[in-house]
Amino acid sequence: MSSRRPLIGLVAQHNSSNPDQFFVKRAYVQAVSAAGGIPIMIPPQPPAQLEQLLSRLQGLVLTGGVDVHPELYGEELQPWCGEISQVRDELDFAAAAWALQHDMPLLAICRGIQVLNVAFGGSLYQDIPQEVADAVRHWQSDPGSEGTHEVTVHQGTLLSSLVGRGPLRTNSFHHQGIKRLGSGLKIAATTPDQLVEAVESPEHRFVLGVQWHPELMAESCPAARALFEGFVRAAEGE
């Protein structure tokens, strides 16, 4: 670990049902700190100011949260789409675009992988139980520290270099998922129902999205820790 820890931006979470609050869940903060980074919350702010803030960071985490508005991937809003925050959408897509343009290490978690996919021109299922036949259970009632479905890690990927090639047991708290893969993204992991659970961008130094929540498993699972450690190492190389 370098003596000067990299600054890692955590995109603030926001729910339209509680619009006066920006927040970041504790587990993201703890996982980034434990991996050697300094976590900083990035709230919404004017675009030029946001860019100034991002330019001082060494890595970006797209955190979990509410659903992406389907108009951002060219589809009609369906009744089974969940809560949406326009404030959150604007912040996430602006921050993601900046990170991709400047090749800043980016770790995209849950909602984050969905934002990443849409930023690359892909689309989403608005509700997996409605739109995917024979899907495995992607919304668990067990605690987030426990894995409930198996994920196949594709060989020759950044993900496999971090966690190994064997299958992972991951938690699952999502009702949406990747439908059409964004152009330029590579699939790094799938569930037995063929849902995409991880993507990465080979054009960038470190752009990785996972559909599960490694921050909730970081204390108990070495493979979850390895994602944050690899990400912070990449940020140290900035």
Reading the block at residue 149, the tokens are 């479905």
Catalytic option among 174, 215, 221, 229: 215
Q: What are the residues facing 198 on neighbouring strands? A: 189, 210
CB of 189 to Mn ion, least distance (A): 10
Residue 184, sorted as left (phi over 0), alpha (psi -120 to 50) or beta, turns out to be: left
Give the closest residue to 7 by CA, choosing from 32, 43, 34.
32
Has 81 been annotated as catalytic?
no
User: Where does this chain touch Mn ion (CB under 5 A) — which range of 17-25, 74-82, 133-141, 215-223?
Assistant: 133-141
Scored b (16 or more CB within 10 A) or e, 41-76 reads ebebeeeeebeebbeebbbbbbbbbbbbbbebbeee
* Stretch of residues binding Mn ion (CB under 5 A), selected from 23-31, 61-69, 138-146, 155-163: 138-146
C-alpha–C-alpha distance, residues 100 and 206, integer Å: 10
- Binders of Mn ion among residues 33 to 62 (CB under 5 A) are none
Question: Could you say whether residue 138 binds Mn ion (CB under 5 A)?
Answer: yes
Marked catalytic residue, from 138, 149, 174, 213: 213
Of the two residues 5 and 138, which places its CB atom closer to Mn ion in the complex?
138
Active site residue 221: no
Instruction: Give the three-class secondary structure for 56.
Output: coil
Size of the site for Mn ion (CB under 5 A): 2
Which of these is catalytic: 110, 149, 200, 221?
110
Residue in 63, 114, 148, 172 binding Mn ion, rule: CB under 5 A: 172
Would you count residue 176 as binding Mn ion (CB under 5 A)? no
- Which positions touch Mn ion (CB under 5 A)? 138, 172
- Residues identified as active-site: 110, 213, 215
